[in-house]
Amino acid sequence: DTGVSQNPRHKITKRGQNVTFRCDPISEHNRLYWYRQTLGQGPEFLTYFQNEAQLEKSRLLSDRFSAERPKGSFSTLEIQRTEQGDSAMYLCASSSIQGYGGYTFGSGTRLTVV
């Protein structure tokens, strides 16, 4: 078990470009979560999957954001037409199906939009 893996660790992109992040959860975890963290703030919930089903999306997740978990294993988060306000740390976490025991987080992907 290598924990939750996120790639890339850092991404610098020009405004208007599309970016995609990948998350590989702990293999036996059914749930996968995406959070966003801006400077000086706690993580904010974006969306989560149970197996391949996306069960909830936050209002923070605008139409430019899309997440997938096609085979119930890894997940991708895509941001289209990036804006400077998208600059943040994007955190992925996974948990057992109940989730109440807490999550295991990855190291995050830091996005900088210039």
Partner 1 sequence: AQSVTQLDSQVPVFEEAPVELRCNYSSSVSVYLFWYVQYPNQGLQLLLKYLSGSTLVKGINGFEAEFNKSQTSFHLRKPSVHISDTAEYFCAVSDRSSNYKLTFGKGTLLTVNP
91 binds partner 1 (CB under 8 A): yes
Q: Give how many residues touch partner 1 by CB under 8 A.
A: 27
Q: Where are the beta strands (DSSP E) in the chain?
A: 5-7, 10-13, 19-24, 31-37, 44-50, 53-57, 65-68, 75-79, 88-95, 104-105, 109-113
Residue holding tokens 């790639």?
7
Contact of 69 with 85, CB cutoff 8 Å: no
Q: Which of residues 49-78 bind partner 1 (CB under 8 A)?
A: 55-56
45 binds partner 1 (CB under 8 A): yes
- Report in angstroms how near the CB of residue 28 gets to partner 1 at its nearest: 17
What's the Rg (C-alpha) of the chain?
Answer: 13
Residue holding tokens 């974006």?
46
- Report in angstroms how near the CB of residue 108 gets to partner 1 at its nearest: 5
Q: Which is nearer to partner 1, 79 or 108 (CB)?
A: 108
Residues near partner 1 (CB under 8 A) are 4, 6, 33, 40-45, 48, 55-56, 91, 93, 95, 98-108, 110
